[in-house]
Amino acid sequence: MSKRLHYSIRMRAAKDSVHISGAEGIYEKNDVLDTVQKYTGRAYAHDKGRADEIHLTIEELKETPRRISSLPLCTLNTRNSEAAGKAAFKILSSIGITERAIDEAFKSLTIGITMRGAMLMDIEGVRLEPDLLRGVRVTRMGITKKADAILSKHLAKLGLNNDTVKEALILASKVHKYPMVLGELCISDDPNYTTGYIASRAFGYIRLLHIKKRGLPYGGRAFFITGGEVKELIKYLQTTPVLIDNIKPCEGALSLKEILARKSHRKSHSRK
């Protein structure tokens, strides 16, 4: 029996040599042409302007994608960026990341430089990626059609059914499948997008409203790493194909107290 081929399709678009849009996914052969059309349309109709340069990569995957579940999703019900930042500190420090590392991540993501990839930081805040200017780009992830339809339905109920939320959740779900990654902080680099998130296996994907001020064109991702071989982690993030085929619960707004209570609840369940 022949194996079904999968393709990683990646798009990045620029206007006047400045990056404006990107997208990627894993698709079966029959969906390649439609996807190319969809991604091209997206590059031409971006908020930041019409792309004048579009790079498309269509790569036949030699490896069968690993199938995983999405992280559960919720939104922290904080009123302003100060409260969102404080809550993020509490949640991330409760899983063993030091305040120094969290502080360092916040500083680096708001300093005014956007790296192409993510920062890797140990739990003391020491940077681990080999190229400190470029960071590590997570690629070769996607979602099956069936899981995508379920995710759309869940997100639509929350008024969140859009590419930005979906793609961030897919990326974080791939990242946090790797045991060396303890947590993540993400702040969007889109000046019009003020929501970010923190993610971890312990708590899932927690959206942070108002984590940055409107108009700031920078942001990025920091992954907090513990133990293990960094080279292997980078290989996984960059090259291992991963497909989401199961969707965990997507919930609306939760308080910090409710979120923190969940971790101890999950822990006591997993001990049984």
Which residue ranges make up the site for ligand PML (CB under 6 A)? 164-165, 168, 186, 188, 190, 193, 195-197, 207
| Residue showing the smallest CB distance to ligand PML in the complex | 188
Report the nearest approach of ligand PML to the CB of residue 96 (Å): 23
Closer to ligand PML by Cβ: residue 177 or 207: 207
Residue among 6 and 244 whose Cβ is closer to ligand PML: 244
Cβ of residue 39: shortest distance to ligand PML, in angstroms? 15
CB of 3 to ligand PML, least distance (A): 32
Q: What does the DSSP assignment read for the chain?
A: -PPPPEEEEEEEEEETTEEEEEEEEEEEGGGHHHHHHHHHHHHHTBTTB--SEEEEEEEE-SSPPEEEEPPPEEEE--SSHHHHHHHHHHHHHHTT--HHHHHHHHHHHHSS---SSBEEEETTS-B--S-TTT-B---SEEE-HHHHHHHHHHHHHTT--SHHHHHHHHHHHHHTTSTTEEEEEEE---TT---EEEEETTTEEEEETT-S-TT----EEEEEE-SS-HHHHHHHHHH--EEEEE---EEEEE-HHHHHHHHHHHHHHHH-
DSSP string, 146-161: HHHHHHHHHHHHTT--
Q: How far is the CB of 198 from ligand PML (least distance, A)?
A: 10
* Pick 165 or 237: Cβ nearer ligand PML: 165
Residue 205 CB, shortest distance to ligand PML, in Å, is 7
Q: Which is nearer to ligand PML, 8 or 195 (CB)?
A: 195
Q: Of 150 and 165, which has the nearer Cβ to ligand PML? A: 165
- Tell me whether residue 114 or residue 240 sits nearer to ligand PML (CB atom): 114
Could you tell me the smallest distance in angstroms from the CB atom of residue 6 to ligand PML? 23
**The pair of three-digit structure tokens given for residue 126, joined into one six-digit string:** 């020491």
